[in-house]
Each structure stands twice: as structure tokens, then as C-alpha cells.
């Protein structure tokens, strides 16, 4: 009986070992399967990291937030403006809003100091002045270059910052431009309509170009009425002298700034957002510049 119990005990131990080994094998297989099935998740995670790297880079790139540089565009044809150099300044810049600490820095304005730049205004539904001014500037550049002019832009895109207002004047001066034009849209009360041409007031720098700038202003007023009525809220007969603008105080070449319309007025805004109207505005400005330069050849 004692020997039988011993035999039974050995059998039980053997069976236990066998069952334990089988369970171990099953557990190992399950672990392997589970690990294998998790590989796609790891791959997916890696793919996500890869696809998110560009946005990380974009977030940290100051390239879209650095100060804009000028661009010189060569003529594409010959015509009434052959040999002329024209500086075009599209107001503000598309990324100014992202670096308030930069554009709020004070710079010389020809009579004192003022902020480097501002974000500009917009239509009530959010179309930015910076986008408008750049769109018209590019259309105008195309027309001027086809007529033989070299065009110097104060900024080459709408995705950077600035340049500062004093630098905008310097770019035209350094290019020895025959004439300079700054393109803007106004942000006045919604009841106001129309365009205004802003002209320089004599400063310690711009004395020699105040009179020719007034001639240029008259040519712009005459031509631009084909696109927009004269302002009913700003200036007189479409012209307003300004002594607080660095671009006009510091210029040494004939220059005016045009507020092409009131972006807060629904009628003006609808026009200014239209590509067709932007073409008309560019053509009117090209006509004005051609008239001015033809009269001063």
C-alpha cells in the first residue's frame, strides 16, 4: 500500500510538471503573438512622429517671421517706362501680427520715432490690408515691367514681417528710384468711402521732393478715379498732406502713399477684395506713374 501511494505520488508530480510545461509554452506563445501584434502600433507611432516633424520645424522657424528684404524685378518688355526705376511699397506684411515685440520697436520717422510697423487694418470679414496691398503691388509690377521699368519692391512676399517704416523709404532712396509709391487700404469709420493720396510735408530730409510729389499726387488722383471715387471723409480733392509718416518724411525720391479705399466700408471692401477690381486699380496706378514720368522725362 505504501509503495502504491509512492507510485501514485510520482505520477501526480509527473502530470503536474507536464501541465506546467504546457502552460508555460502556451504563455510564451501568447506573449509572442501579443508582441507581434503591437508592431503596427509602433510603426504607426513612428509615422506620426515623421509626419509631425515638418510642423515642429515650421513652428520653430523664424524664416516666416524674419524681417522682409527688398526684391528687384527686371523689365519684361520695352515701352514708355524703359530705363525707369520705380519703387513699390506694399503696406504692412502678412506675418506682422505674430511678432508684436518686433514691430512695436521704435524707429526714426524723420521727425521723432514711431513703431517699426503695424498689422494694418482689414475688411469686416477679415481680408487683411497686407494681403490687399501685396496683391495690387504684384499686379502693378507686372504692368510696369512690361512697359520697360525696373521695379523695386520693399518686400518680396506676404508671409514675413516688415520691413520697418524707415527702411521702406531707404529702399527707394538706395535704388535711386525715379518715383516711389506706397499702397495701402484705410480702416476708417464704415460711413466713409473713397481713396485718398497722402503727400509729404517738408522735413529735414525730403525738401527737394515735396513739390514733385504733389505733381505725382495729382496724376494719381486723376487716374485712380476710374477705379474708386475720391474720399468723402479724408483730405481735400483726394489729397491729404501728412507729416507723421516715416515713408514720406524720409524719402529723397518723389513719393506718395495711396489709401485705395476704406476697408471698413462695405461698398469699398467688396471692390477691394475683387481680383477684377485689383486689376483695375493696378492699371490706374500704372497710368498715373506713366503720366508722371512722361512729364518729367
> Above pLDDT 70, what percent of the chain?
77
Q: What pLDDT band is residue 75 in, cutting at 50, 70 and 90?
A: very high
* Percent of the chain predicted with pLDDT > 90: 77
In tens, the pLDDT along 4-57 reads: 444 444 444 444 444 444 444 444 333 333 333 333 333 333 332 222 222 222
Shared domain for 125 and 245, answered yes or no, is yes
Q: How many angstroms separate the Cα of 226 from the Cα of each of 77, 129, 195, 230, 233?
A: 25, 21, 11, 10, 19
159 in the same domain as 36: no
H/E stretch holding 73 reads strand 71-73
pLDDT, position 9: 45
Mean pLDDT, range 227-256, rounded to an integer: 98
Cβ-proximal residues to 245 (8 Å cutoff; 6+ apart), any chain: 109, 165, 198, 200, 257
CATH number of the domain that residue 232 is part of: 3.40.630.40
**pLDDT of res. 96:** 97
- For residues 46 and 184, state if they share a domain: no
pLDDT of residue 265: 98
Domain that holds residue 141: 65-295
Count: domains in the chain: 2
Predicted confidence at residue 17, as pLDDT, reads 42
Q: What is the pTM of this model?
A: 0.78
Same domain, residue pair 55 and 158: no
181, 231: one domain:
yes
The whole-number pLDDT of residue 126 equals: 98
Q: What is the pLDDT of residue 164?
A: 97
234 shares a domain with 105: yes
What value does the mean pLDDT of the chain take? Answer: 84
Domain check: are 15 and 152 in the same one? no
Number of Cβ within a 10 Å radius of residue 92? 27
The answer on 147 and 102 residing in a single domain is yes
The catalytic site residues sit at 259
Residue 100 banded pLDDT, cuts 50, 70, 90: very high
pLDDT given for residue 66 in this prediction: 76
| Same domain for 93 and 55 | no
DSSP-based three-state secondary structure for 33 = helix
15, 45, 60 — which closes off a domain?
60
Could you tell me which residues are beta bridge partners of residue 88? 153, 181
Quick: pLDDT tens for 144-197: 999 999 999 999 999 999 999 999 999 999 999 999 999 999 999 999 999 999
Which pLDDT belongs to residue 288?
98
Boundary-marking domain end, from 60, 82, 101: 60
295 pLDDT tier (thresholds 50, 70, 90): low
Last residue of a domain, one of 60, 76, 95: 60
Looking at the fold, whether 171 and 91 belong to one and the same domain comes out as yes
End-to-end CA distance of the chain: 133
C-alpha cell at position 204:
529735414
What is the reported pLDDT for 30?
38
Shared domain check, 147 and 19: no
pLDDT score recorded for residue 253: 98
Average pLDDT over residues 79-100: 97
CA neighbor of 142 nearest in space, from 293, 287, 282: 282
Residues 90 and 173 in one domain: yes
Amino acid at each position: 500500500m505504501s509503495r502504491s501511494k509512492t507510485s501514485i505520488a510520482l505520477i501526480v508530480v509527473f502530470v503536474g510538471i507536464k501541465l506546467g510545461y504546457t502552460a508555460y509554452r502556451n504563455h510564451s506563445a501568447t506573449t509572442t503573438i501579443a508582441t507581434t501584434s503591437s508592431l503596427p502600433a509602433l510603426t504607426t507611432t513612428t509615422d506620426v512622429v515623421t509626419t509631425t516633424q515638418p510642423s515642429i520645424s515650421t513652428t520653430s522657424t523664424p524664416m516666416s517671421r524674419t524681417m522682409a528684404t527688398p526684391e528687384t524685378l527686371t523689365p519684361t518688355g520695352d515701352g514708355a517706362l524703359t530705363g525707369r526705376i520705380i519703387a513699390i511699397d506694399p503696406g504692412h506684411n502678412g506675418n506682422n501680427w505674430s511678432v508684436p515685440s518686433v514691430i512695436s520697436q521704435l524707429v526714426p520717422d524723420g521727425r521723432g520715432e514711431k513703431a517699426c510697423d503695424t498689422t494694418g487694418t482689414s475688411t469686416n470679414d477679415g481680408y487683411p490690408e497686407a494681403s490687399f496691398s501685396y496683391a495690387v503691388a504684384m499686379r502693378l509690377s507686372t504692368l510696369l515691367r512690361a512697359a520697360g521699368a525696373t521695379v523695386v519692391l520693399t518686400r518680396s512676399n506676404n508671409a514675413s514681417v516688415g520691413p520697418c517704416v524707415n527702411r521702406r523709404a531707404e529702399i527707394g532712396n538706395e535704388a535711386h528710384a525715379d518715383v516711389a509709391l506706397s499702397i495701402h487700404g484705410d480702416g476708417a469709420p464704415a460711413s466713409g468711402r473713397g481713396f485718398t493720396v497722402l503727400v509729404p510735408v517738408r522735413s529735414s530730409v525730403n525738401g527737394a521732393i515735396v513739390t514733385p510729389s504733389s505733381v505725382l499726387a495729382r496724376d494719381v488722383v486723376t487716374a485712380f478715379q476710374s477705379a474708386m471715387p475720391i474720399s468723402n471723409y479724408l483730405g481735400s480733392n483726394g489729397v491729404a498732406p501728412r507729416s507723421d509718416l516715416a515713408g514720406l518724411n524720409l524719402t529723397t525720391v518723389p513719393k506718395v502713399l495711396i489709401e485705395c479705399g476704406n476697408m471698413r466700408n462695405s461698398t469699398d471692401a467688396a471692390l477691394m477684395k475683387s481680383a477684377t477690381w485689383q486689376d483695375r486699380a493696378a492699371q490706374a496706378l500704372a497710368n498715373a506713374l506713366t503720366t508722371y514720368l512722361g512729364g518729367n522725362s
